[in-house]
Amino acid sequence: MIPAKDFPRKYVIGGGLAGLIFMHYNSDYILIEGREDKEISVPLPQYIYDDESTRELLTELGINFEKRTVHVGIYFVNGWVPPADEIRALYYEKTRGETIEDFPPYTMSMGKTEFDILDVSIQDLREVLRNRIIGRIIHEDVVSIDFEQKYLWTTDYLSGATPYEKVVSTIPAPIFLKIIGWMNELYWLKWKPIFVYSAQAKPTSFIYQHTFDYVLFPGPEVPFYRMTKGQFFDIGIESTQEFDVKKWFPGLEPKSFVMPYGKIVGGCIQEIAMKYIGPDTDEITFFGRYGAWLPQLKIQDVIKAAKAWDIQK
């Protein structure tokens, strides 16, 4: 149930990493996250980059970390290739479905084949952050928002509409658009679904024959675009189309799911909000990589923005 009147009427929607980091630095907000745990433990390239901000947060939380280097391989047609611009353009086209002359510079991690990270479990970080704010979490789903009257509606209809002063959305932008009923009006905002397959591999599997943490496949000769190592020979395979994993990887027994918000293609969600809500959008803001629909954001960017939120707002 939504808190009583003596609670602040400031809410964060979404209990992912961006939402939890925001909550850690902003004690006057209440977190609204779904009743069910939607986190999926599949090997994907989710890393905490080595940065002063991330080191400070991990130290504050008492989480031990070590520095390590991530190695990236690029396999094209029948061999390994460097991250040349033409290869990166092909990768962008394959994953976004767009052919453009000037693809974004962040494509394929800025063309790096290795980069430094802090070797920390994302799941452990989420758990520690969540435990710090356990008394400020509501386990409900937001089903509607009335921008004119400034009310939130959640799955707990008995509590009625909840007035708000400020809302920070960290859930993927297309999901937010679906909640508020903008999907039909924003047909031009595009995204491609992601099909993710998780499987138990063998030590002799393709990716485990090499030292790479993950491998990119920019060419059209294979239906998938990325393969990531996990622990205990787990692998994650990502594609923008559904395909027969067993045909490409004999012997694997994959599990699959679809990320409905997919790859980010389109403009900044805050600019869209200014068009449909009005120029005064301080009451509804969008935060994080998927919440703000900005794929170039990294965890250190989220941390810095969360720490400076009171100053900005």
Residues of the chain with pLDDT under 50: 1-2, 4, 37
* Per-residue model confidence (pLDDT) at position 108: 84
**Partners of 261 in the β-ladder:** none
| pLDDT above 70 coverage of the chain, percent | 80
**DSSP of the chain:** ----TTS-SEEEE--SHHHHHHHHH-TT-EEEE-SS-----------EE--HHHHHHHHHHT----EEEEEEEEEETTEE----HHHHHHHHHHHHS---SS--TTHHHHH-SEEEEE---HHHHHHHHHHHTGGGEEE--EEEEETTTTEEEES-GGG--EE-SEEEE-S-HHHHHHHHT-TTTTTTS-EEEEEEEEEE--TTSTGGGSS-SEEE--STTSSEEEEEE-STTEEEEEESS---HHHHSTT---EEEEEEEEEE-S--HHHHHHHHT-S--TTEEE-STTTTT-TT--HHHHHHHHHTHHHH-
Domain spans of the chain? Answer: 10-41+122-186+267-312, 66-119+191-264
CB atoms within 10 A of CB 27: 10
CB atoms within 10 A of CB 160: 12
* Per-residue model confidence (pLDDT) at position 264: 57
Angstrom distance (rounded) from CA 224 to CA 7: 47
* Sheet containing 142-146: order of strands: 142-146, 151-154, 162-163
Tell the CATH superfamily of the 10-41+122-186+267-312 domain: FAD/NAD(P)-binding domain (3.50.50.60)
- Digit-coded pLDDT (tens) for 35-47: 654 555 667 788 8
According to DSSP, the β-strands at 142-146 and 151-154 are antiparallel
Contact 285, 301 (CB under 8 A): no
Q: How far is CA 32 from the centre of its chain?
A: 17
* Per-residue model confidence (pLDDT) at position 310: 63
* Per-residue model confidence (pLDDT) at position 37: 47
**Closest C-alpha to 112, from 74, 64, 80, 151:** 74
* Per-residue model confidence (pLDDT) at position 240: 86
Counting every residue written for the chain, the total comes to 313
Contact 214, 45 (CB under 8 A): yes
Angstrom distance (rounded) from CA 85 to CA 91: 10
Residue with tokens 């008492």: 62
* Per-residue model confidence (pLDDT) at position 256: 74
Angstrom distance (rounded) from CA 7 to CA 15: 19
**pTM of structure:** 0.86
**Closest C-alpha to 174, from 9, 292, 85, 30:** 292
- Digit-coded pLDDT (tens) for 151-168: 888 887 556 688 999 999
Residue with tokens 């693809």: 103
Tell me the two tokens of residue 151. 């009310």
**Closest C-alpha to 96, from 111, 228, 227, 104:** 104
